[in-house]
Structure 1
């Protein structure tokens, strides 16, 4: 038994309720490195053939999929149905498991079968080049375990492959922002997806872009705006879209909000097949943004951490070709009127 694995067991015994990523942080290693030290115990290394892995997941039926970043955890029960793979990937199931996949960021994968106080917990976990989690798929009582076990058997590595992790490159940005040109291009957009190209062309971060344009396009509001919006949506029962991203996956919830609560600075959203946990005390900036499309402006609420990384993004549910939801606009207006940051 290796020393790193012994260290893990000791920490786990002392902190039984801590997540794997928290234990890895205590050990000063990445989460992928922690799973690597568990190989031969409760973990199996999988071939980094992500096309085969994703097609295999599409055959296992229902799973619980988790996409997270350091500040938000997005959980959705569903299946890898309607999987489409190309340069990027998509699992297109609005109001169920809805993913945007970026496999170029993916590096390694593991299958874990861990004994817990609730019984055996099985998962397939994918990590990026830095050893941080991209996504995790956990079995449920409705998962086809025969197909699950076949997938693990087919994708398991016969010989362990050492991890080749690297530091995450600094994002491209410039200190000199041509605000007039950026705003002109922003106002000329006809699709919200064009915004990514705008950021790339100007080599700016989202926050730099927000600060460079007029307040009708991007306006900073109080950090309790997300709690206010979710409480309004819970009452009105209008459908929202909630996006949480890792570096290699975006997971999207679409639907009404059943329950919202704040527990120990954690904003918790609960639905029968969806849950969100968001660290309120890590929200450093909150912005309302408006992006033009062929169907009119689309409004979002965007949350950021102190390091400038995006925590989560919220929209009113909208179908392609339809204007933005009026109830969502009213909820945003209420935030703008009562929660404008100084």
Structure 2
């Protein structure tokens, strides 16, 4: 290995690490606020990437139909809850975002899938298709069992992962897809040419992390999420709705996952089940941070990305095993200083 090869591998590792950092941060956020180890985070990656790929190739993505189906289920579940409580205040708002919005997007999808539509419009429309799935999944699956133990929520997450993977096969098929790069061209940095897509990934990662910091430190909703993450019972006592916090958290997780998928779809072929492995690598990064620390998670993600890149050069058949085996020493390291606490402490 010479310096040029090392720099090329470092470029790939940093780019992949930035994606894993975003997914790791989303996993930490979801766990802190809702106590859910969100295994299906990778499915948002797949849905976002394949939705953009379908639109870029002039096809209506299956997520347009899936969103309508999920929205109709949300409306039915919410109608039943309102009927039992004899309170229908707020149901019109549910109809608006869970049924009217998906139907409008479904009607607009053939126009956005046209041949002359700019890629940026396709990106924004794909985000509009995937992001509402986050709060819908929370309302259908996690909200009814929000008081369950972490183990039960983990088992439910595994079931949701398999369900979303199967739906991905139904609505997208088994073919792999790629998307056009968001940024064309390359920049020569020393002996290595860094692609424009690499800079797009890094810039997006930095902007999203900065945006999340501003959201949590400067906004009322961000403060509510932080309070819920610190102590769920205390947040309820001061009037913060944990259900609102959970829905907002899943919305952010869906947005981060979908955008991450669009960033990597230009550099690797995405299949209906590709997101699982990508999400697991984000989970490895989250383990670095103990599912609690955002900075350590981001640093761990960069380490995972660089390790994967160099492992693919030295031992390509075993690169996945090397990355996932990394969980064992990290868990041992974190267990030495861990103190068991009750879930509400």
TM band (smaller chain): under 0.3
TM-score by length of 2: 0.24
Higher relative contact order (Cα pairs below 8 Å, separated by 6+ residues): 2
Q: Which has the higher helix share?
A: 2
